[in-house]
Amino acid sequence: MNLQLTDDGRLRHLLTLDGLPRAIITQILDTAESFMDVGEREVKKVPLLRGKSIFNLFFEPSTRTRTTFEIAAKRLSADVVNLNIATSSQTKGEAILDTVDNLAAMHADMFVVRHSQSGAAHFIARHVAPHISVVNAGDGRHAHPTQGLLDMFTIRRYKGAFHNLTVAIVGDVLHSRVARSQIHALTTLGVPEVRVIGPKTLLPTGVEQMGVKVFHDMEAGLAGCDVVIMLRLQNERMRGALLPSAQEYFKFFGLTLEKLALAKPDAIVMHPGPMNRGVEIASEVADGPQSVILPQVTYGIAVRMAVMAMLAGGTA
């Protein structure tokens, strides 16, 4: 049984891109494309989710992701409630399911969940009533499906297709839920070569089993790439010293203009943010002509609108 799909194959929850059918991913990207002009209208709204109540449950700090989910829901005309975790009953010891039950009793239609524990969104999805959908906004090291989808949307916008690309994911793959979602999406969409580049201490054991090529030398890994995705160092998830120093990391795995020159001349540079300039990426690259980091943020709203619209049964 696929928890994410209804019996007739429609999207029921969005929890992970692992195992999500290619047709559903493509449908999300196509639907997002139809929402791209909403943000440029004088009245930035469509009525698809009018009367629906969406609760953003962020049990872990976030600024950009929470904000783009909120904007996306409001552009669909939904009523949005942001649960303030710092003052919620969670801080008084209320169990997560008690919190969910209380919010469901307020006639919630959708929960957007971010949690430091892997599997939290799945846990809630198994518990909620059939009419309530759950969107995973990032759980532990496990998955960040909407970030993975907006990255695919960005690649498709700039490269047109996936079947002829070489994509490199660089940095802290070990602690990155984003990297896992990207790898699942890229392989599902038919990218022939996905590379991961990083020091041995920041790559998961057996990552090759996900269908990627592993490089510990950045110059070799970047050679001939069409897309370079830089990852943030997840210092908050590291236990013990996995790197000699930030300066040493930048020397070998930071993206500079010189290293970027090894990729194809029209290669694009992406980063899920927030960036550590001078650690993962040089400012002249982050702000340079090959960077599509800010468009990623813009596209994130359209992609999250698409996910919410499909979950709520609306159409673009």
H or E segment to which residue 55 belongs: strand 53-58
**290 appears as a binding residue in the annotation:** no
**64 appears as a binding residue in the annotation:** yes
Query: Which residue matches tokens 């919190």?
Result: 99
H or E segment to which residue 80 belongs: strand 79-83
Kindly tell me the sign of the dihedral angle through the C-alpha atoms of 64, 251, 284, 164. Answer: negative
Contact between residue 132 and residue 111 where contact means Cβ atoms under 8 Å apart: yes
192 three-class SS: coil
Query: How far, in Å, CA of 264 to CA of 240, rounded?
Result: 36
Contact between residue 147 and residue 91 where contact means Cβ atoms under 8 Å apart: no
**296 appears as a binding residue in the annotation:** no
What are the structure tokens assigned to 118, written together? 């892997």
Give the type of residue at 191. V
Query: Which residue matches tokens 């929890």?
Result: 15
**92 appears as a binding residue in the annotation:** yes
Phi, psi of 132 (to 5 degrees): -105, 130
**65 appears as a binding residue in the annotation:** yes
**74 appears as a binding residue in the annotation:** no
Residue 161, Ramachandran bin (φ over 0: left; ψ between -120 and 50: alpha; else beta):
beta
**273 appears as a binding residue in the annotation:** yes
Q: How far is CA 291 from the centre of its chain?
A: 18
**157 appears as a binding residue in the annotation:** no
To the nearest 10°, report the CA torsion of 237, 212, 208, 271: -10
Q: What are the binding residues for L-aspartate?
A: 92, 177, 232
Q: What are the binding residues?
A: 64-65, 92, 114, 144, 147, 177, 232, 273-274
Q: What are the binding residues for carbamoyl phosphate?
A: 64-65, 114, 144, 147, 273-274
